[in-house]
A and B are shown apart, each in its own frame.
Chain A
């Protein structure tokens, strides 16, 4: 408990505010003001700066190159169309873009009438894993992208997004909590359970 308090309240108190600078430290107010003026170079900058991460985020969930590219393009189009609705006090610009992406991904699944992902936690929980540490050697031999993709598919949407944003994109967990509209303890739990499930799925699927 002491360690947790130190981590969140003393060592990095700003984490609780759910804010951090944009990726390259650009001033959000200036960026948004330029976009609201319809400044073309700023739009190009935003595409160059944020499209790659949005693409990774989309690709791992849609599993289709064209669909992911289209989604990123649509995020940018909506960003331009709705820039006047952006409120800096509510989220970073980056989080705002990813929120648009999340909504579009949810729309995509709804359009496909795809069944919601079912967590394998229940199934995994019925099959007790090996003793902690016994898989160390096998874990050192992973991981291909296909294996990761298969493992991510077995997670819930939120677990998957926590892992993608925190591990792949390097977001801090309070930022992720802000995007998902979750409390920080809830996101920590999602993260832990997501990685735990992923480990067990990977070990079963890829390392047997």
Chain B
């Protein structure tokens, strides 16, 4: 059995619901005559509250609220100009961050694609640069340096190595027998090299010419030389 307080609360809530929905409360109260007087009195309060004019939102205020809501909606939707969104503080939120990444993804894909193309093109360029087609058997590009000991047309001797020069070889400086040179080129079997680029680094080293004649004092052009052997 419910306590009297709980019972009157229940009776009141039931009767109140009936009244709010426009139905008669008398059948409810008839079942609870001991609470009927008190409940009926309280229901007069609720009926008075229900029937009194309540504050209404003005048409202007309603329109203003609607405009503000639409403005909020507009500001929240992704802008068609993606860069302008990068400075929007909303990118800090999880949802906006995902939206930011979603907009950024095409740019990332494009950058990755461009990088791949660059790598392929660069590889092709390097391949063509270091894998010439002119000399069969060319296998490796290397550098070599030494003193030019002979020049026989397109064939230079650098120590024991034959260096081949052709119309595509870039030559920096004036080649001469006895000059120090450095080159890069394709190694060929048998101490041979197909030169791609040549740098002449030193003037030819001309062996000194030893004068012949008696030792003693020489006078030439006003300069006195003393020769001893």
Complex contact B72–A81 (CB within 8 A): yes
The range of chain B's interface size is: 35 or more
Interface-central residue, A65, A142, A192, by most chain B CB under 10 Å? A192
A98 at the interface (CB under 8 A from B): no
Decide if the interface of chain A is mainly helix, strand, loop or mixed.
helix
With the chains together, A145 CA to B54 CA distance in Å? 7
Closest to B32 in A: A3
Give chain B residues whose Cβ lies under 8 Å from the Cβ of A91. Answer: none
Partner of B41, one of A52, A77, A135: A135
Is A142 in contact with B48, judged by CB distance below 8 angstroms? yes
Q: Write the B33-71 contact mask toward A (1 if CB under 8 angstroms, else 0).
A: 000011011101110111011111100011011101110
Find chain A residues with CB under 8 A from B65 CB.
47, 51, 69, 72-73, 76
> Is A93 located at the chain interface by the 8 A CB criterion?
no
Nearest-CB residue, chain B, relative to A184 = B13
- Tell whether, in the assembled complex, residue B44 and residue A136 are in contact, meaning their CB atoms are under 8 Å apart: yes
Distance (whole angstroms) from the CB of A35 to the closest CB of chain B: 9
Residues of B within 8 A of A192 (CB): 8-9, 12-13, 42
* Given A3-B14, A188-B13, A192-B12, CB of A52 within 8 Å of CB of B72: no
List the 5 shortest-distance A-B pairs measured between CB atoms, nearest first.
A192-B9, A76-B69, A143-B48, A55-B57, A132-B38
Known: A60-B55, A72-B57, A133-B40. 4 other contacts (CB 8 A): A38-B73, A80-B76, A166-B16, A188-B10
